[in-house]
Amino acid sequence: MQKEEKQQVATNPSKKKHQMSSEEIEETSPLKETLQQLRKNRMAITGFIIIIFFLILGIFAPILTPYGFEDQDPVNRLMTPSAEHWLGTDDLGRDIFTRIAYGARISLYVGFFAVIGALIFGTLLGICAGYFGRWIDMLISRIFDILLAFPSILLAIAVVAILGSSLENALIAIAIINIPIFGRLVRSKVISLREEEYVLAAKAQGMKNGRIILYHILPNSLAPIIVQATLGFGTAILEAAALGFLGLGAQPPTPEWGKMLADSRDFLQLAPWTLIFPGVSIMLVVLGFNLIGDGLRDALDPRMKN
Amino acid sequence: MPEPILSVQDLHTHFLTDNKEVPAVDGVSIELHKGEVVGIVGESGCGKSVTSLSIMQLVPNPPGKIVKGEIKFKGKNLTYATEKQMRKIRGNEISMIFQEPMTSLDPLFTIGNQLIEAIRIHQKVSKKDAKNYSIELLNLVGIPRASEVVDEFPHQLSGGMRQRVMIAMAMSCDPEVLIADEPTTALDVTIQAQILDLMRNLNKEKQTSILLITHDLGVVAEMCDRVVVMYSGKVVEEGSVREILKDPKHPYTKGLIRSLPNIRTTEQKLYSIPGTVMRPSLDQVGCRFAPRCEHSFDSCWEENPKLLKQESGRQVRCFLYDEEKSERGVTSNDKSYT
């Protein structure tokens, strides 16, 4: 407590005089408050731990394992988990732990960029639709409706079929199918924000539309975007795995989790570990992101506080 | 008399709803001179706020549209102004404060942040200068410990303080006209008095003209030089505050004043005008107040009354004061009136 006080004084010399009155206030800055709320949420912490675990796994993959993800070892095919191969080997004698570690890179990479792409375009379109309304809203909303009318995996397949199957194209496909999810979320938020009196007040002060959007609309609609983005990581990873499973995403020998599942499904009875470990990895990562997302939603929603 | 700084001539603002055109403002004319405080009074839905939004060219379009009329500000017709020209006027030359101080500030930014933003829209000053100026403004509107308040968030301030911040923001560019749309409605009575005091001081010191929109005749009595009474989108009476409060002519104004609680009378029940405001419509014939008026006679239902000029610049829209029409009417209802 005292340390914090000192820090505040150090960073904010102008505040020395009224420390007592503003101290409580200072502690409730939005970011701090959200983090505090999150820290109280055990589920969210669990989610964080899971994601950090996979992040470390992905980043330090070359250090963590002596094998390469392409290294084949015909002698040691379909080995059970052992001290040498922690999670066993697959039908080509490749170390499954190594492939999962490198696979974490791919899944997190796809999840991150697909969500960022969907977020940027979805938010942009959603703000245009919500703020300007009229025919712009009509046009953008109908495009969203069309995108949502397809089952998402079918749409992704169509996109990949057009662009050709590769990891990058799968990423683009996943981004595209997630655009309307962000778009509609942002649009509905912007429509309610547009009617806020402070937006009218900003207009009455002579503020330009662009400035109002940047300065008032966007920051105020950030909370649901952040939550949706976190939850979106999970779905994007799941979709990437599904595309990989169908052979439309990452191409061999890329150690993509979905692809690993597909390659091993013939050995379900003979060597179940070849399926279980990639499957569990997918499940854990998605679970981790969902837990964080739920925790963030509770932390960012003022009605859920205390 | 010199040219008014802001004049609204025959303003018609219509709203299109469900294929029906609703004339929310139907031929309103208002003049505002330098340093004058003019009140617009009327009950909810009579077009007060739409008039003020029309002046700022901020009527939501669609569904709203200014279909006819002229809004002249310092000789320029604002109805023809482009959005870019309007932005230069808004906040800089005509400022506006709103009814709800609770929601007029963005909850995510500090008071200083928002004031600096408002200042820097129209003035080329550095952030530091703008911040110092914000503190100065906050002091001007009577906010205690202004140098701390600049770094606080809106939710940390009371309603009265937020309204002061809004006024500070509106005054930041020394506007010539301040439009106050029910600035005190959401505040309690003591704060109300303080805010009104503040506005009156600004009016006196800076010669800012104020267009005060309210439904509170008490506020009008305290603040205004002239008052315009509106009913259902039309001006029904206009004159100096003194004369209108002392000697209201239009039956609606009479009703409004009668329905004020009076400390001296011993009446048990407070008077209220019977009926409710009718929704304005284009195809309506006759006086809009006729259905609620106790003096209405045949002409009231058949023709639209015109705004009649009275002595000392007063105007009233009622057939009772039209000599040709009212002969029959006045004599017939004189009995009931006494």
Domain regions of chain A by residue span: 33-68+94-304
**A135-192 pLDDT tens trace:** 999 999 999 999 888 888 888 888 888 988 888 888 998 899 899 999 999 999 999 8
**pLDDT for B326:** 59
Q: Which residue of B has its CA nearest to A16?
A: B148
Is B131:B150 a contact under the CB 8 Å cutoff? yes
Position A29 confidence tier, pLDDT thresholds 50, 70, 90: low
Integer Cα distance of B322 and B302 in angstroms: 14
Integer Cα distance of B169 and A198 in angstroms: 12
Integer Cα distance of B192 and A7 in angstroms: 40
What is the rounded (10 degree) CA torsion for B155, B156, B160, B162? -60
Q: Which residue of A has its CA nearest to B149?
A: A22
Structure tokens at A275: 């399926």
Position A66 confidence tier, pLDDT thresholds 50, 70, 90: confident
Residue B14 is classified by DSSP as E
**Bridge partners, residue B181, by sequence:** B213
Please give the average per-residue pLDDT across A19-41, as a whole number: 64
Residue with token string 């959603």: A126
Integer Cα distance of A115 and A171 in angstroms: 9
Is A242:A250 a contact under the CB 8 Å cutoff? no
Is B137:A234 a contact under the CB 8 Å cutoff? no
How many Cβ contacts (< 8 angstroms) between chains A and B?
Answer: 71
Integer Cα distance of A169 and A177 in angstroms: 12
3-state secondary structure of A41: coil
**Bridge partners, residue B213, by sequence:** B40, B181
DSSP line for A181-195: HHHHHHHHHHHHHHT
Return the sign of the alpha-carbon dihedral for residues A165, A168, A170, A176: negative
Q: List the one residue out of A112, A182, A120, A110 whose CA is nearest residue A147.
A: A182
**B267-323 pLDDT tens trace:** 677 778 887 777 777 777 788 888 888 777 777 787 778 788 877 778 888 888 776
Chain B nearest-CA distance from A217, in A, is 10
Position A12 confidence tier, pLDDT thresholds 50, 70, 90: very low
Residue A25 has pLDDT above 50, yes or no: no
The CATH number of the structural domain formed by A33-68+94-304 is 1.10.3720.10
Chain A interface includes B174 (CB < 8 A): no
Which chain B residues are closer than 8 Å to A14 by Cβ?
A: 147, 151
Of residues A134, A205, A219, nearest to B90 (C-beta): A205
Please report, for residues A22, A97, A113, A281, A287, the alpha-carbon distance to residue A246 in angstroms, rounded to integers and kept in the order given. 58, 22, 21, 18, 22
Chain B interface includes A198 (CB < 8 A): yes
* Helix A273-300 with A30-40: angle, nearest 10 deg: 130
Chain B interface includes A25 (CB < 8 A): yes
Pairing relationship of beta strands B37-41 and B209-214 according to DSSP bridges: parallel
- Which of A47-51, A226-230, B78-82 has the least mean pLDDT? B78-82
Chain A interface includes B175 (CB < 8 A): no
Predicted TM-score (pTM) of the model is 0.75
Structure tokens at B193: 């008095």
Amino acid at B123: Q
Structure tokens at B29: 């004319």
Answer whether A198 sits within 8 Å of B122, measured CB to CB.
Answer: no
**pLDDT for A284:** 93
Answer whether B104 sits within 8 Å of A201, measured CB to CB.
Answer: yes
- Residues 6+ away with beta carbon under 8 Å from B32: B4, B5, B6, B7, B38, B177, B209, B211
**pLDDT for A288:** 92
Integer Cα distance of A60 and A63 in angstroms: 5
* Helix A273-300 with A42-59: angle, nearest 10 deg: 130
Integer Cα distance of B189 and B234 in angstroms: 29
Integer Cα distance of B263 and B43 in angstroms: 23
**A180-223 pLDDT tens trace:** 999 999 999 999 888 888 888 888 888 888 888 888 888 888 88
Integer Cα distance of A266 and A252 in angstroms: 17
* Helix A273-300 with A257-264: angle, nearest 10 deg: 150
**pLDDT for A304:** 57
**pLDDT for A195:** 84
**pLDDT for A154:** 87
Q: Which residue of A has its CA nearest to B52?
A: A204
Is B50:B59 a contact under the CB 8 Å cutoff? yes
Structure tokens at A278: 């990639």
**A113-143 pLDDT tens trace:** 999 999 999 999 999 999 888 899 999 999 9
- Residues 6+ away with beta carbon under 8 Å from B311: none
Chain A nearest-CA distance from B276, in A, is 27
Chain B nearest-CA distance from A196, in A, is 7
Cis bond upstream, residue A253 (ω within 30)? yes
**pLDDT for A62:** 85
Return the sign of the alpha-carbon dihedral for residues B4, B230, B48, B257: positive
Q: List the one residue out of A205, A28, A232 whose CA is nearest residue A120.
A: A232
3-state secondary structure of B201: helix
Tell me the average pLDDT of chain A: 82
Which chain B residues are closer than 8 Å to A22 by Cβ?
A: 148, 152
Where are the extended beta strands (E) located within chain B? 6-17, 20-32, 37-41, 64-73, 76-77, 94-97, 177-181, 209-214, 226-231, 234-240, 308-309, 315-316
**pLDDT for A6:** 45
**pLDDT for B267:** 66
**pLDDT for A28:** 57
**pLDDT for A74:** 80
Which chain B residues are closer than 8 Å to A25 by Cβ?
A: 152, 156
Residue A37 has pLDDT above 70, yes or no: yes
**Bridge partners, residue A1, by sequence:** none
Q: Which residue of A has its CA nearest to B175?
A: A205
Angular region, A207: left φ>0, alpha ψ -120 to 50, beta rest: beta
Residues of chain B with pLDDT under 70: 1, 267, 323-338
